[in-house]
Amino acid sequence: MSEWWYNTRTGEVEEGMKSSVVDRAGPFPSREEAARAPEIIAARSRQWAEEEELDER
């Protein structure tokens, strides 16, 4: 089974760990999901921020 990565520097989807670790986001189970990496990362960041805000109350 292949792993897919999103290259944050180039915006390209890559099969396997081809780029430097500082430029990779993933792994993702499919090419399609890796292509949505910026959207997925933003949604997770919003969720974590909301959870932290609730913890601080």
Order of all β-strands in the sheet with 4-7: 13-15, 4-7, 24-28
For residue 27, whether the previous peptide bond is cis, meaning omega lies within 30 degrees of 0, is yes
Structure tokens given for 17: 């760990």
Is 37 within 8 Å of 25 (Cβ atoms)? yes
Residue 57: band (very low, low, confident or very high) from pLDDT cuts 50, 70, 90: confident
Structure tokens given for 20: 């430097």
Predicted model pTM = 0.81
pLDDT digits (tens, 9 = 90+) for 12-42: 999 999 999 999 999 999 999 999 999 999 9
